A and B are shown apart, each in its own frame.
Chain A
């Protein structure tokens, strides 16, 4: 699904020759194996994901920046809950991740009822 990742995982330390454990997740409904021992943001970057979400105003592609919970650039939907910080989450077996690459966040319809904006059926896959 990805040709050229911007980030690569460093080789394993000497003394631990076993390849790192992985978990199986779904990214926009596509199966993907991610290292179990790094954050979801790091795993997705290493897997070559460059568009985690769209800027809410301009629609520009956004991706992790600070990797430490401050910048809120790495937001993804996890198991149906939108706007999760991927840098603060470890991938779990069976996790269903969606990039937030259409109008994310809330809408304010008349009457004060709330719904979350939904992505287009054909989301912009990484």
Chain B
């Protein structure tokens, strides 16, 4: 039996960001994780720190994402200082590429709704012609009807972020336990006991940030947290000379020259195999955006599974039945990493609860709640 202040279930970006924030606050932490065969969205994501377009119908999600983008430089700086790892945050703004007039119309409606509900000062956007943005995005093709631009967007190298969080946590004494998945959880007299194939762990606080395992694990502490996988595929090119100054929703160039293209959305259960027809569609759209990409060599492709709630928005909830147990689940572990480290971690350690979290309770769902459909 090992005891500590906080047990974090999940070794991905969400669990690691919360663990980092809690460790910065002085907590002793044990982080339990699966092994290399885990379904790991943290290794498959697109790396955007993105606000634009998010939160249609729930402006608090737009604001929560916006706040995270503003906190991100602080997270970047502390990770760099502690670990020497530069996660390559680039917040020069972001573009969404529209390939026809219908896409432009839909885009304007979406961004206008968000601006009306978040505030014009906080949510500026522009609709621009390809020729207007050639400094940021050279080589947009003739099929591009327009692009939308928001200054608050950007991207990072998500693998460097993942690495930096784990290095920082190790240096701060977080005990990371791979191949030690939680099997069951007991709560008695204010103490959680987590049973794993490699022994038992006890703490008065428990953070459940285990991605697609959240539904099962949360049931152990009396919370209904419905999550389902949604599959995305991406394409990776050979490294190219720096060309794209800003990220787009569909094509971005990493700090190392790679161009990442994607992604798709498919509701296909736990299938995380790459399918060629989907890659064909992804490539065709990328070439419509940037015709020169037809000559780029694709050196890798992969699929990963997003963690989706019925309405697509995150869940932040402390269990009413077992106080001290918290769930943190979302499909934007990169964008929200700064919130998770700097705002959510202090809350789970007993500090102030960010008021915006009122918008993301688990109690908005019940077993009759239908899942929205994402992709085909």
Q: Does B302 contact A (CB under 8 A)?
A: no
Interface positions of B from 236 to 295, Cβ below 8 Å from A: 238-243, 255-257, 290-292, 294-295
Q: How large is the interface on B (under 10, 10 to 19, 20 to 34, 35 or more residues)?
A: 20 to 34
Chain B interface (Cβ < 8 Å from any Cβ of A): 134, 138-142, 238-243, 255-257, 290-292, 294-297, 299
**B142, B294, B299: residue with the most chain A Cβ atoms closer than 10 Å:** B299
Binds B, one of A1-9, A23-31, A106-114: A106-114
What chain B residues lie within 8 Å of A108 (beta carbons)?
138-139, 243, 290, 292
**Chain B contact residues: helix, strand, loop or mixed:** loop
Q: Count the A residues whose beta carbon is within 8 Å of the partner chain — how many? A: 19
- Could you tell me which A residues sit within 8 Å of B by CB distance? 55-57, 72, 75, 83, 103-110, 112-114, 116-117
Give the residues in chain B near A104, CB-CB below 8 Å.
240-241
A112-B141, A114-B292 known, 5 other contacts, Cβ within 8 Å: A105-B257, A106-B295, A107-B241, A107-B292, A112-B139
- Number of cross-chain contacts by CB at 8 Å: 63
For residue A116, which residues in chain B have a CB less than 8 angstroms away from its CB?
Answer: 295
Distance, CA A106 to CA B104, complexed state (A)? 29
B297 contacts A56, C-beta separation under 8 Å? no
Are B297 and A109 neighbours in the complex by a CB distance under 8 Å?
A: no
The 10 closest A-B pairs by CB, nearest first: A108-B139, A105-B240, A56-B257, A112-B291, A56-B239, A114-B292, A108-B138, A108-B292, A112-B141, A57-B257
In the bound complex, do residue B139 and residue A75 qualify as a contact, i.e. CB atoms below 8 Å apart? no
Chain A residue nearest to B239 in the complex (CB): A56
B141 to A, closest residue via Cβ? A112
Q: Known: A57-B255, A83-B297. Contact between A110 and B134, CB under 8 A?
A: yes
In this complex, the member of A57, A103, A104 whose beta carbon has the largest number of chain B beta carbons within 10 angstroms is: A57
**Interface-centre pick from A55, A105, A107, A117 (highest chain B CB count, 10 A):** A105
